Structure 1
Amino acid sequence: MHQGKIMRHQHPSQAIKPQRHWINADTVRMGSTAMLLLILALFSIGAWVSDGFTDRRITGVGSDFSVFWGASYIALHDGTLQAYDLNRMMAVIHQFGTLASGSDRLLPWLYPPTFLLVVLPLALLPFWPSYLVFMLATGLFYVKATLGLLGNRVMPHHRAWVTVVGSPAVFVTVLMGQNSMLTAGLAAMAVTWQDKRPVLAGVAIGLLAIKPQLAMLFPIVLLASRAWRTLASAAATVLGFAGVSIAVCGWKTVPAFLESVRWAQENMIDDGGASWYVMPTFLAAARAAGLGVSVAHAIQMTAAIIAVGALVYVWRRISDNGLRIAMLATATMLTSPYLRAYELTWLLVAVAGVVSHGTRFGLSGRERFVLVLAWLLPLFEFVNPLCKLPQIGPLVFVAMAVLVVRRATMYAEHGAALASPLQTNLRARATQPAKPNR
């Protein structure tokens, strides 16, 4: 018997059974459930020690949502332009929001008129009911959009929703009261709809005008994939959305928004201080390491150019939506100079995209490790301002990008016959001669 050939008269009991990797659906589900229970416990303890989050001696849940609700309150009472007045905003937040009364933290309104239009109704409800409605609505949308990337390969009994709801990315977003579940959900829906509902896909992309820096790469991928109907729909949506926003909020909110961007550039990016440790960007990593502003921007620009090149490569080579959204989300995070821990909901979308491809073609042990690391990254970013450890976020993005490009290359070359490293390993095991029974 030669090595590498299967024995012809092998007894069924001697057949080699494939060994499951320790990172699998069951262990991921158990880990996610444990994380979800921990999150619920933390929220419960927080509510108990702060008298239902009403103790103003400490900053409570929804500090960033205080800005959304505050902008609505100011717009409804004083006019939309006043939302960009930092002093007015801080007065409202200290009166109604969850920021500690003695806090010197500044929470300006940094959003364009498009998002001001979206949050306008929030203050029609008191703060806490408004917070709950906003978080539940955007959260349900995000879970549906993320799980939609998996298609019909994941059944309800798999309880895949636990890996989303129990993720650190969702925890940080809900804790801060941010809009990142909405933006990441729109991106996921746009890619999911692109083939069968191109017009709706364009509408989803156009609605990302609420946070323009996260939508900058969509025109590039639509051009690369020649998705003309989606591109036209997105352009029309942006123009209509911007037009209605300016008509309702007033044209003066445009220069006010641009001025807020300049303020954020100077005070939160170039000179962010502690903020750098919660910003998973090459720029923040360089600044935290002591490099100058110009050098940090050069590093960020270099990373952005490489990321865009990889993005175009993936979208031109393959049509698989899972890998496409994974590369798009990863490249978006690599190109944006301003990115906070709560926006890693986009990274979870990238993870879901890779898992979507992996359910069909397998995942290697190394790929599984990278996906788990990406899933856990928001937790590191959230506590890092206290630890002040080197910023590892960009390195995780790079690992994700390399993973996606590699899988896209293999898929383009082999198609349905794609053999992941895991499958190759299993075939190698199966071709080993069986050990005789003792």
Structure 2
Amino acid sequence: MMRTALAGGSKNPAATVYRRSETSPSPLLAWTIFVLLVLLLASKAIGLAGTASGQGAATLIDFDAFRLAGQLVWRGEIDRAYHFATLLAFQRSIGEPGSFLPWTYPPVFNLVVAPFALLPRGLAYALFTGATLAAYLMVLRRLAQPHLGMLLALLFPALAVTIVCGQNGFLTGSLIGAACLCLLRRDPRAGLPLGLMAIKPHLAIGFALQAAMTRDWRTALIAAGVAAVFAGLATLVLGPSVWAAFRDGVAEAGVFLEEGLYPLYRMISAYAVVRTLGAPATVALAVQAGVALAALGLIALAIRRRMPAPQVVGLTAVASLLVSPYAYDYDLPILGVGLALLGPALLARTTARERMALFVLVWLASGWGLAMTEVLHRRYGEEGMPVGVMPLSLAGLALMGLVVLIWRVLQRRPEDPEPLLANPIVG
């Protein structure tokens, strides 16, 4: 049972240890970064509202795909979103001719985005991104406790890129974070947010393995039940044909991925690294499969070694990001959840040089895509990058290096194991 397998010899696996030190960053750092994020979000919302009102050409961002899919839901034509030709025609009618935002989300996510299609562009973006950012920061605050400011500084590139493109990384990060809070309390209600991860199930595979290995069947059943209910609701609202359309859309996306038509430089997977190094897609997929098995193997090994619960759950969150070939920099808010849980163990075991290495690896993993986007924009201008050009992807390499370093550090004994402050994670 999970109650014993994750306890690590402690009666309360939810109690992690933080050390009160003079070098701990003040709340001022957290508030400063929070203000910067709010200003960035407000600036983006105002810009989107301006182009929507005809003050300039509409440059599409990822959030526009959410609104477009929502519009197709209300028109009863959501099946068309999963086909390249029809979706491209819709997008060209509202934005730049060279833009294309594919739609491969499971049908349940269509129910999430549909309400935002009823609102003006800027307002819809502000509500979606603002609400999910607020939820994410609240969860992260409970997980990180006094080290929230330091963690936000570490995650800043990932937070910025998620705001800029209006993606759902804060939503998935909130769900994974809520699940982790419940898992640390040995609360089977962790299955609720994990079931909602049906919107992006490939990012929660590690938690399925954890539930199976710890025989936490109640959490697994609740997660499966929640996913089934929402799948049934999507079928009822959208019609059974949406699942066939989704299947065809995923197959079509697989072809695009193989041909390198996605911005691989923004991906955080081993597949993207190997593919942009010039290897064939088959080789890249083989490497991705090996990395995914290794990542899941670390989760299994952590459970078998009966590591403390925060370490197991945190490692599960981080390692799960390496499983799928289709993962982007805006999915990295989940990394923040894992680092919040692993933080006390890492701080107690790392040297100053290793902490700098962790910082560099996180910034490279989360900021590489953002930096390359700016470089490519300056090089190719408004015409965009030519088809077939695949700039190097280093984010996945940095993420793999980060996981390896974290695992090596966790095998050590802490230099300063004295618990001076208990983290009231269940309070």
TM range (shorter): 0.7 to 0.9
Greater shift in the superposed pair: 309-318 or 24-33: 24-33
Change (3 A) 1:211 1:164: farther
Q: Who is 1:419 aligned against?
A: 414
Is residue 337 from structure 1 mapped to residue 339 from structure 2 by the alignment? no
Task: Tell me the alpha carbon deviations over residues 371-391 of structure 1, each in whole angstroms, 9 at most, x when there is no partner.
Answer: 322442322222225367642
Cα 1:68–1:273 change in 2 (3 A) is closer
Q: 1:396 aligns with which of 374, 398, 420?
A: 398
Greater Cα offset, 165-174 or 309-318: 165-174
Residue 312 of structure 2 corresponds to residue 313 of structure 1: no
Count of residue pairs the alignment pairs up: 381
Alignment gaps of 5+ in structure 1: 1-19, 411-417, 425-438
- Matching residue of 2:182: 193
- Aligned-residue offset at 1:193: 0.4
Larger Rg: 1
Pairwise CA distance, 1:194: 1.5
Q: 1:169 to 1:76 in 2, by over 3 A?
A: same
Q: Which structure 2 residues correspond to residues 357-368 of structure 1 after superposition, within 5 A?
A: 357-358=345-346, 361=348, 363-368=350-355
Supply the AA of the counterpart residue of 2:119.
L
Which structure 2 residues correspond to residues 170-209 of structure 1 after superposition, within 5 A?
Answer: 170-196=159-185, 198-209=187-198
Residue 325 of structure 1 contacts residue 353 of structure 1 at CA under 8 Å; is this kept in 2? yes
Secondary structure at the counterpart of residue 100 of structure 2:
coil
Shift of 1:394: 2.5
Match among 258, 270, 282 for residue 282 of structure 1: 270
Tell me, what secondary structure is at the counterpart of 1:280?
coil
Contact 2:272–2:284 (CA<8 Å) still a contact in 1? yes
> Hey, what does 2:340 align to over in structure 1?
352
By relative contact order (CA 8 Å, sep 6+), the higher-ranking structure is 2
Q: Distance in 1 between matches of 2:113 and 2:49?
A: 27
Residue matched to 1:262? 251
Letter in 1 for 2:116: L
Q: 1:271 to 1:189 in 2, by over 3 A?
A: same
Is it true that 1:70 corresponds to 2:68 in the alignment? Answer: yes
Give the one of 119, 132, 135 matched to 2:129: 135
Query: 1:211–1:38: structure 2 CA closer, same or farther, 3 Å change rule?
Result: closer
Partners of 2:308 and 2:287 in 1: CA distance = 31
8 Å contact kept, 1:113–1:242: yes
How many Å separate the matches in 1 of 2:401 and 2:83? 41
Asked if 1:120 corresponds to 2:107, the answer is: no
Q: 1:239 corresponds to which residue?
A: 228
Deviation at 1:210, TM superposition (A): 0.6
Relative to 1, partners in 2 of residues 1:319 and 1:143: Cα closer, same or farther, differing over 3 Å?
farther
Rate the CA distance shift 1:335–1:28 in 2: closer, same or farther, 3 A. farther
Q: Decide whether the 8 Å contact of 1:114 with 1:241 is kept in 2.
A: yes
Q: What's the secondary structure of 2:205's corresponding residue?
A: coil
Distance 1:276 1:29, change over 3 A: farther
> 1:81 aligned to 2:79?
yes
Which amino acid counterpart does residue 125 of structure 2 have in structure 1?
Answer: Y
C-alpha change, 1:204 and 1:182, in structure 2 (3 Å) is same
1:185/1:46 CA distance change after superposition, 3 Å: closer
Instruction: Note if contact 2:76-2:238 (Cα within 8 Å) is conserved in structure 1.
Output: no
Amino acid in structure 2 at the alignment position of 1:139 = L
Contact 2:49 2:121 in 1 (8 A): no
CA apart distance, 1:85: 4.2
Structure 2 counterpart of 1:351, which letter?
A: L
Q: Cα RMSD over matched residues?
A: 3.3
| Counterpart residue number, 2:408 | 406
Summarize deviations over 1:287-323 as a string: whole Å, max 9, x none.
1111112111111111111111111112333453432
Instruction: State, as a whole percentage, how many aligned pairs show the same letter.
Output: 29
**Preserved contact between residue 346 and residue 409 of structure 2 (Cα < 8 Å):** no
2:57 maps to what in 1? 57
Q: Which amino acid aligns with 1:419?
A: P
Contact 2:235 2:242 in 1 (8 A): yes
CA distance in 1, matches of 2:331, 2:48: 28
Task: Give distance in 1, aligned partners of 2:227 and 2:321.
Answer: 21
Q: Is the contact between residue 109 and residue 260 of structure 1 (CA under 8 Å) also seen in structure 2?
A: yes
What CA distance in whole angstroms lies between the structure 1 residues aligned with 2:137 and 2:236? 33
Deviation, structure 1 residue 366: 3.5
- Relative to structure 1, the CA distance from residue 64 to residue 35 in structure 2 (aligned partners, 3 Å threshold; closer, same or farther) is same
Classify 1:213/1:48 alpha carbon distance in 2 versus 1 (closer, same or farther; 3 Å): closer
Report the TM-score when normalising by structure 1: 0.77
Q: Residue 111 of structure 2 aligns to a residue in which SS?
A: helix
Mapped partners of 1:270, 1:32: distance in 2: 43
Contact 1:347 1:374 (C-alpha < 8 Å) held by counterparts: no
Which stretch has the larger CA shift, 175-184 or 72-81? 72-81
- Residue aligned with 2:332, SS: helix
Give the Å deviation of 1:185.
1.6
Distance 1:280 1:229, change over 3 A: same
Give the Cα separation in 2 of the matches to 1:287 and 1:50: 37
Amino acid at match of 1:69: R
Give the alignment partner of residue 298 of structure 1, picking from 274, 277, 286: 286
Distance in 1 between the 2:398 and 2:208 partners? 25
Change (3 A) 1:28 1:305: farther
- Whether the aligned pair in 2 keeps the contact of 1:36 and 1:166 (CA below 8 Å) is no
Cα gap change, 1:215/1:91 in structure 2, threshold over 3 Å: closer, same or farther? same
CA contact (8 A) 2:319 2:403 kept: yes
